Amino acid sequence: MSAFYSDPIYKLKQSEITKINWKKGIYASRVKLLQIKSCKFCNKSFEVKPYDPKIFCSQSCAASFNNMGKIQSELTKKKIALSLLGNKIPFYGIEKVKRIVKKSSPFYHT
């Protein structure tokens, strides 16, 4: 790449030209307005770009929808329950670093 494009004066001029063109509306066609879609599971409305193929408002709704009517054996249910028990978080409930609470905070105790 040429040193010409790395020149700070060139970059500044290009920046100014681009900002002026944005204000004139030359690049307005590049901006995609958000569309409002409704979730396929809970019917809650959410905003997405026009090219975004989302049909659910959240990953939770997608999982609930896709797992509806799924038949699992008792063995599979037990395996899932055991895997969810898993390892406990080692520092759960232990304050490793003391928090500094300002006197004006509602959490300040005297």
Considering the entire predicted model, what is its pTM?
Answer: 0.51
C-alpha Rg value of the chain to the nearest Å: 27
pLDDT at 44: 96
pLDDT at 30: 87
Q: Are 21 and 27 spatial neighbours (Cβ–Cβ below 8 Å)? A: yes
* Digitized pLDDT (tens) for each residue of the chain, 110 residues in all: 578 888 999 999 999 999 999 999 998 888 889 999 999 999 999 999 999 999 999 999 999 999 998 998 999 989 988 888 877 777 887 888 877 777 776 666 66
